Structure 1
Amino acid sequence: MEGFFITAIDLTGTFAFAISGIRLASGKNIDWFGAYIIGLVTAIGGGTTRDLLLGVTPFWMLNGTYFLTTGVALLAALLFQERIFRLAGTLFLFDAIGLGLFTVVGISKSLEAGLPFWVAIVMGAITGSVGGLIRDVLLNEVPLLLRRNIYALACVAGGLVYYLCTQLHVSVSVTELMAAAVVILVRVVAEKFNIHLPVMRPVKQEEESQSH
Structure 2
Amino acid sequence: MTIWYIIDLVGTSVFAISGVLSALRKKMYHDIVALFFIGFLTAVGGGTTRDVIMGAHPIAWIRDPNYLIVISINVVIAVLCRNWWLGALQRPLLIFDTIGIGLFTILGMQKALLAGVNDWASILLGIITALFGGVIRDTLVNDLPLILDRQLYVTPCLAGALLYLLNNSLGVDATLNLILSAGLITLFRLVAIRLDLTLPRIQI
Q: Deviations over 1:6-64 (max 9, x none)?
A: 11111111111111110010023312211111111000000000000001122111111
Whether the 8 Å contact between 1:77 and 1:84 is mirrored in structure 2 is yes
Aligned AA (1:47):
G
Aligned counterparts of 1:122 and 1:176: Cα–Cα separation in 2: 17
The alpha carbon displacement at 1:200 in A equals 4.9
Aligned counterparts of 2:18 and 2:33: Cα–Cα separation in 1: 15
1:25 to 15, 23, 26: 23
Match of 1:75 in 2: 76
Secondary structure of the corresponding residue to residue 182 of structure 2: helix
Secondary structure of the corresponding residue to residue 142 of structure 1: coil
Match of 1:40 in 2: 40
Written as runs of structure 1 = structure 2, the 5 A alignment for 1:1-212 is 4-26=2-24, 27-30=26-29, 31-57=31-57, 58-86=59-87, 87-200=89-202
Aligned counterparts of 1:85 and 1:37: Cα–Cα separation in 2: 20
Q: Deviations over 1:52-108 (max 9, x none)?
A: 000112211111111111111112112222211222110000000110111111000
Aligned counterparts of 2:2 and 2:154: Cα–Cα separation in 1: 26
Larger Rg: 1
Distance 1:137-1:200 versus aligned 2 partners, 3 A rule: farther
Aligned AA (1:8):
I
Q: TM-score, normalised by structure 1?
A: 0.90
Q: Deviations over 1:113-142 (max 9, x none)?
A: 111111111111000000000111111110
> How many corresponding residue pairs?
200
Q: Percent identity?
A: 38
Aligned AA (2:155):
L
Instruction: Give ranges in structure 1 of 5+ residues lacking alignment.
Output: 204-212
Secondary structure of the corresponding residue to residue 40 of structure 2: helix
Instruction: Give ranges in structure 2 of 5+ residues lacking alignment.
Output: none
Runs of 4+ aligned residues of structure 1 deviating over 4 Å after TM superposition are: none
What CA RMSD, in Å, does the superposition of the two structures yield over aligned residues?
1.3
Whether the 8 Å contact between 2:20 and 2:79 is mirrored in structure 1 is no
Aligned counterparts of 1:18 and 1:65: Cα–Cα separation in 2: 13
Whether the 8 Å contact between 2:15 and 2:97 is mirrored in structure 1 is yes
Of residues 28-37 and 14-23 in structure 1, the stretch that sits farther from structure 2 once superposed is 28-37
